[in-house]
């Protein structure tokens, strides 16, 4: 089964994960997360949010000259930079940052632009954000996770490598008691991109002995699922 982003996991899958991991059902039910502005919101946008969505840099520069609040929020707590990130408007992001907009604010669902780009597997926008100084290490989402954990969950191996290079914390433990290495196994399907993700984490020196709440290491989880290539990689790395 191909994994879905946090916001798309069906509730029954979350309930199954809860049962398998000894968690209460509410611990893993999906939140409204990673929500790009919908059509009604976009139609109502004015000012910086509208310019950010459509990539209208000249309009943004006009608005900047009026000393407008660069971090103004929409109804879901998104700043113009959040909106530009969802819309992959990289020039807009650059113009806003140059004018002093913050790269590291969280929206209403506690997501930052790095996590938004990471979950979207948008390597180019992520590259721009990191080059402009966005943090790869913020704690985000109702799961108290990181962009690296979210990307590992989804098998976004290129994103994972970028985040590692940017200093993302390798061994952060979220409130489900999972690390990036654990999520690469337990929320993946053992396929090539999750294998590459796990290999990147191993090569970077991730702690492979950290366990979930039931005492399972990534190796034990891989064995329980029959993920032979992951088992081989983990054993080669000295995991137990």
Whether 43 and 124 share a structural domain: yes
Per the listing, tokens 């490598």 go with 161
Q: By three-state DSSP, how is residue 122 classified?
A: coil
- Residue 35, pLDDT score: 86
Task: For residue 171, give its domain range.
Answer: 141-240
Whether 117 and 168 share a structural domain: no
Q: Are 55 and 132 in contact (CB under 8 A)?
A: no
Whether 209 and 234 share a structural domain: yes
Average pLDDT, the chain: 89
- Residue 17, pLDDT score: 55
From residue 79, give the alpha-carbon distance in Å to each of 104, 106, 117: 10, 9, 15
Within a domain: 177: yes
Percent of the residues in the chain that have a pLDDT greater than 90, as a whole number: 85
pTM: 0.87
Examine the pLDDT at 160 and tell me if it is beyond 80: yes
Per the listing, tokens 């989402």 go with 141
Examine the pLDDT at 174 and tell me if it is beyond 90: yes
- pLDDT, mean of residues 66-74: 96
Examine the pLDDT at 25 and tell me if it is beyond 70: no
Examine the pLDDT at 170 and tell me if it is beyond 50: yes
Whether 233 and 187 share a structural domain: yes
Q: Which residues contact 240 (CB under 8 A, 6 or more apart)?
A: 208, 209, 217, 219
34 — pLDDT class (breaks 50, 70, 90): confident
Whether 39 and 100 share a structural domain: yes
């Amino acid at each position: 089964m191909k994994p879905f982003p946090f916001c798309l996991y069906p509730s029954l899958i979350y309930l199954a994960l809860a049962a398998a991991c000894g968690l209460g059902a509410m611990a893993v039910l999906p939140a409204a997360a990673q929500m790009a502005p919908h059509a009604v919101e976009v139609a109502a946008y004015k000012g910086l949010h509208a310019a950010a969505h459509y990539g209208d840099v000249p309009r943004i520069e006009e608005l900047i000259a009026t000393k407008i609040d660069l971090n103004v929020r929409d109804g879901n707590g998104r700043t113009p930079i959040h909106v530009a990130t969802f819309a992959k408007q990289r020039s807009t992001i650059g113009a806003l940052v140059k004018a002093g907009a913050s790269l590291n604010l969280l929206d209403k669902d506690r997501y930052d632009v790095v996590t938004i780009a990471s979950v979207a597997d948008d390597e180019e926008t992520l590259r721009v954000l990191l080059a402009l100084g966005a943090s790869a290490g913020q704690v985000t989402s109702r799961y108290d996770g990181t962009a690296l954990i979210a990307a590992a969950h989804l098998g976004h191996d290129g994103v994972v490598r970028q985040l590692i290079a940017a200093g993302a914390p390798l061994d952060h433990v979220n409130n489900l008691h999972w690390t990036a290495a654990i999520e690469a196994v337990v929320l993946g399907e053992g396929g090539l991109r999750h294998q590459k993700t796990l290999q990147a984490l191993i090569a970077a020196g991730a702690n492979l002995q950290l366990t979930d709440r039931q005492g399972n290491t990534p190796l034990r989880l891989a064995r329980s699922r029959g993920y032979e290539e992951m088992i081989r990689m983990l054993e080669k790395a000295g995991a137990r």
